[in-house]
Amino acid sequence: MANRVNSQAETNVSVHDCGMMTEICNFCQALYWRNELNSSNKYTKCCHYGKVRLLNLAETPDLLKELLTNNSLEARNYQQHIREYNAALAFASLGADVKAPPGNGPYCFRTHGQIYHRIAPLYSDERFKPGYGQLYIFDASEANSRRLENNPSCLSSVMEKLDALLRTINSYAESYLQMHQLIQSNPTVNVKMIFMEHPDLDMRRYNAPTSRTEVAAIFVGDDGEPPANRDICIYPIGEGCKNISPLNQCNDPTIYPLLFPRGEQGWSNEMEHVEERRFVKRNRVTQLQFYAYRLSVRSGFSLLHSSGKLFQQYIVDAYVKTEGSRLNYIRLNQKDLRVEFYRGLLDALTTRASNNNLRVGKLVILSSSFQGSPRSMQQNYQDAMAMVRKFGLPDLFVAFTCKPSWPEILNAMQGRERPENRPDIVVRVFKMKLSELLDDPMKRKVFGCVTSYIYVIEFQERGLPHCHILLTLDSSSKIRTTDDIDKFVIAKLPNINVNRRLFEIVTKCMVHGPCGIINPNAPCMKDGECSKQFPKTFREETEENVNGYPVYKRRCIEPVRVGKHYIDNRWIVPYNPWLSKKYNAHINVEVCASLKSVKYLYKYVYKGHDAASITLKNVDSDDEILNFLDGRYVSAPEAMCV
């Protein structure tokens, strides 16, 4: 089999092609690639095969469509600063620790810790400047001047047009203005405005309902019934901002007026499936089902998918809200998790607290059943080590990274869209490519007979997914000699005259850096040295085992110009020619040479998400859920993989 792989590397290898996104769901008209069929030959990621049916969003206003598709000065400014425009015109604020990746690469919206949604009273306190929904009671020119003070990158002409649009068609803008007018006409009346979670409550208990009942905004006097816990209540004057429940249907339209300009309602805990058949039990739509339906791609212009950086923010926000609902269920059902049986953990916490003169409070457990939790990662690592005991040491380590310039991704773009702003397309194409890549060693046996494998998907700082795979071969396919290593893995520049296509792939995807003296500001540089030990040294022959890994053959050649720099074999990341030619991507292939590398490899595969360090403080509880939320990072592509 090694000869087969090696011979194919020297001949034409057909490039893997997912085709075009032309398959259509029969129920909701969502678009798919043919390779996205599940094992039952159905498309279920959009509407769960017709089980979820939601009302489609209203038609996009002409102004927003022009700003997102044109190439004028105003349109380019809007596309570049769409998040600032949205925040300036929003009725409520989104509080998040946005951690943009370092460097000058493509934009990636990434948050650290929790996300909060807050709304202010109708009138601002003397200590603070008016903002968010408070600005809609001002004259348009004054409101825009205040917005531009905080957003100098935005254009006045664009802000004025957007403000005029929202004042005309947005239900929330009208509600704020109506409340202001009601208070001005009746100064002695104490009234508050409520965006209700249950719009079909008895309206006779309230006064002055708004004309746009789809928002369910009503004004309540002193003798009115108090709002429910999840209702959004706007007081004339209050102390600071109030949190909005992520379960409230007004959350999305108040935070994202440029995605839902008419105030279209978001997900509600009371939302049900739309059934055409009578006498059928009506089931509630979950948050995950709601956002899966909304984020599915359909033909025609989509305001949501065309909104670039704001679309990234919306995806992350939707993920965090959905994840928060799952975690809240775990928090409220600790008895079902049998926390009292975590005796070893309780003893460890008691000892640790005693050593630090602290006291142990309430214990909240985040169990291993929650995917991505520290316990889940630890459990996966232990399972991986059990596989080593059963099947032996891994033989090959493969790292597969998504390439945003794949034709399947570019062909799915519309208008002025860019791959970094369509994480939904990026992760879908990567998943199809990964499924094909896993079939190569498992079904097509390109490395021989595989007895076991594990893999995990991670996300780079700028959101691109990449996968780490460990393969264990059977005894007849084991890599035992340097000749076997050279058949599977090489670390050299191909001859451009013999194999031009492979040469172009390697120089574009498999060159490290350059770094060191050539480029001292490279991301891999730590204390003046490359953390990956590049450039490597020239070597005439491959050595089997040096510190757990082979040292690959890198013969001295004439340097070749790649971009701004000249490189040679010392800068080439080890790869398999057959895989590189088939997928046209960064696919690092390494041979595992000794027991020393096994533990590191499996720990690396299951090291978990990026997180900040957590310190022990004098608190009344040890809350693993809160620690998990405070520590994790979430980017838009990762959020799309739910």
Mean pLDDT of 144-159: 95
Per the structure block, which two tokens stand in for 192?
A: 């508050």
- According to the model, what pLDDT value does residue 622 have? 58
**619 in helix, strand or coil?**
coil
Give tens-digit pLDDT for 337-372. Answer: 765 566 566 666 667 776 776 666 667 778 778 887
Q: For residue 568, give every residue at least 6 positions away whose Cβ sits within 8 Å of its Cβ, in sequence order, or none.
A: 493, 556, 557, 558, 559, 560
Q: Which pLDDT tens digit goes with each residue over 425-435?
A: 999 999 999 99
Cα-based angle 427, 607, 609 (whole degrees, multiple of 5): 50
Cβ–Cβ < 8 Å for 279, 153: no
Are residues 308 and 421 in contact, defined by beta-carbon separation less than 8 angstroms? yes
The tokens describing 266, both together, are 């978001």
Residue % of the chain over a pLDDT of 70: 81
pLDDT of residue 229: 62
- Residue 379, CA distances (Å) to 231, 374, 453 in order: 40, 9, 16
Mean pLDDT of the chain: 83
Between 129-143, 349-363, 564-578, the lowest mean confidence (pLDDT) is in 349-363
Residues 363-383 pLDDT 10s: 777 877 888 788 888 888 888
Residues 283, 624: Cα–Cα separation, whole Å: 32
Q: What local confidence, expressed as pLDDT, does residue 343 receive?
A: 56
- Classify residue 298 by its DSSP letter: B
Over range 524-537, report the average pLDDT. Answer: 89
> For 435-481, how does the pLDDT look when each residue is reduced to its tens digit (9 = 90+)?
999 999 999 999 999 999 988 888 887 888 999 899 999 999 999 89
Instruction: Tell me: pLDDT of 556 over 90.
Output: yes
CB 197 within 8 A of CB 204: no
CB 591 within 8 A of CB 395: yes
Please answer whether residues 163 and 140 qualify as being in contact, where contact means their C-beta atoms are separated by less than 8 angstroms. yes
Q: Please state, in angstroms and rounded to a whole number, the distance separating the CA atoms of residues 439 and 434.
A: 9
pLDDT tops 60 at residue 223: no
H or E element that contains 526: strand 525-526
**What pLDDT, in 10s, does the model give residues 85-131?**
999 999 999 988 888 777 777 888 888 878 888 988 888 877 778 88
430's CB contacts (< 8 A; 6+ apart) are: 402, 465
Query: With contact defined as beta carbons under 8 Å apart, do 38 and 49 qualify?
Result: no
| pLDDT value at 611 more than 50 | no
3-state SS record for 99-115: CCCCCCCCCCCEEEEEE
Average pLDDT over residues 481-505: 94
| Cα radius of gyration rounded to whole Å, the chain | 28
Higher pLDDT, 348 or 421: 421
Helix, strand, coil % (nearest 5) of the chain?
Answer: 35, 15, 45
pLDDT at position 226 is 57
pTM of the model: 0.88
pLDDT at position 5: 52
Q: Which of 492, 602, 510 is nearest to 548 (CA)?
A: 602
**Residues near 381 by Cβ (< 8 Å), separated by ≥ 6?**
602, 603, 606
What pLDDT does 256 receive? Answer: 96
| Phi-psi sector, 244: left (phi>0), alpha (psi -120 to 50), beta | beta
The DSSP-derived string for 244-297 is PPTT-TTHHHHH-TTTSTT------TT-B---SSSS-PPPBPPHHHHHHHHHS-
Number of H helices, E strands in the chain: 20, 21
HSE-CB of 5 using CA atoms within 13 angstroms: 23
Cis preceding-peptide flag for 514 (omega within 30 of 0): yes
Distance separating the N- and C-terminal Cα atoms of the chain = 37
Separation of CA 148 from chain center: 30
Q: What is the pLDDT of residue 18?
A: 96
Q: Give CA angle at 641 (302, 425), nearest 5°.
A: 40
Out of 50-54, 348-352, 391-395, 628-632, the most confident range is 391-395
Residue 155: C-alpha distances to residues 89, 133, 170, 618, 619 (Å): 13, 20, 21, 48, 47
Phi (first) and psi of residue 412, to 5 degrees: -85, -10
569-to-153, 353, 512 alpha-carbon distances in Å? 46, 55, 10
Helix residue ranges, H only, 93-245: 140-150, 156-169, 171-185
Q: Looking at residues 205-226, what average pLDDT do you find?
A: 52
Pairing status of strand 543-546 against strand 396-401: unpaired
Give the closest residue to 320 by CA, choosing from 100, 95, 107: 95
631 pLDDT band (50/70/90 cuts)?
low
Q: How confident is the model at residue 618 (pLDDT cuts 50, 70, 90)?
A: very low
Provide the pLDDT for residue 358.
63
